[in-house]
Amino acid sequence: MKSLNRKTAPRSIYGRVQKKNNWILSPNYYRKPEPTLFIDRKRPGEGFRHVLKRSDIIDFIRILPNWPELSEGLDAIVLSPGNPLIFGYHRYGVVHVCAWERDLWMKLSTYGYLAEKEYLDRLGVPCELRNGEYLCKFTENTVRAHQLLATLLHELGHHHDRITTKSKRCPGRGEKYAYDYAREYTEMIWERYLDTFEL
């Protein structure tokens, strides 16, 4: 077999040796502000899947009143890996919506069921009490609605809390503010939501 001499050294241009690899840092919405909203999609993780698509988020943003004000300082919305303990979370300038369990049906404790009951009733999700847990029979459409109306609006509530504080550094009014924000916003846009998305 004939051996080949492979060129591994980078070439030189005008007497300067060029770097072999790309050393430029990739854009990162945590390191510096993005000029426009970045919608990122991470791998969902084993046992999870993304029901939401980027296009769903774009369509949802279009029906939100006061979006220019709400999006101030918001660098990214991230479809994050699934987490069995949370639906989403907020970091400085970035909100995350976690992937949903692959089997769309979800078991909730009594506490979890009562916390979500308003949305479950609004979305028409059938729930059965079994062995001390509630089995909530979501469909793709009701998962999408829950992730947009309950989770994304809740995390945007944390973001709104932060940008309306004096320091603009961290949210100060806590979970109740975010829950109330999501509920009020859902009420405000409910008809528009039904015109835009299937339930």
DSSP state of 81: P
39 to each of 56, 83, 168, how far by Cα in Å? 11, 19, 22
pLDDT at position 107 is 94
110-123 helix and 174-196 helix, angle to the nearest 10 degrees: 30
C-alpha–C-alpha distance, residues 146 and 101, integer Å: 13
Give residue 31's pLDDT band: very low, low, confident or very high (50, 70, 90).
Answer: confident
Residue type at 141 in one-letter notation: N
Looking at the structure, do residues 33 and 89 belong to the same domain, yes or no? yes
Looking at the structure, do residues 32 and 116 belong to the same domain, yes or no? no
The chain-wide mean pLDDT, for the chain, equals: 88
Looking at the structure, do residues 67 and 149 belong to the same domain, yes or no? yes
**Could you tell me the two tokens for 127?**
């729930």
Looking at the structure, do residues 54 and 72 belong to the same domain, yes or no? yes
Strands 12-13 and 48-49: unpaired
pLDDT value at 5 more than 60 = no
For residue 124, which of 111, 143, 109 has the smallest C-alpha distance?
143
Looking at the structure, do residues 63 and 130 belong to the same domain, yes or no? no
Mind listing the pLDDT tens digit for each residue in 78-115? 999 999 999 999 988 899 999 999 999 999 999 999 99
Looking at the structure, do residues 154 and 191 belong to the same domain, yes or no? yes
Total of domains in the chain:
2
Domain coverage including residue 113: 105-138
CATH of the domain at 187: 3.40.390
The answer to whether 25 and 31 are in contact (CB under 8 A) is: yes
**Could you tell me the two tokens for 61?**
């943003």
Looking at the structure, do residues 52 and 94 belong to the same domain, yes or no? yes
Looking at the structure, do residues 134 and 147 belong to the same domain, yes or no? no
For residue 118, which of 65, 184, 177 has the smallest C-alpha distance?
184
Looking at the structure, do residues 134 and 45 belong to the same domain, yes or no? no
Looking at the structure, do residues 51 and 126 belong to the same domain, yes or no? no
DSSP string, 174-198: HHHHHHHHHHHHHHHHHHHHHHHS-
DSSP state of 128: E
Distance of CA 192 to the CA centre of its chain: 20
pTM: 0.83
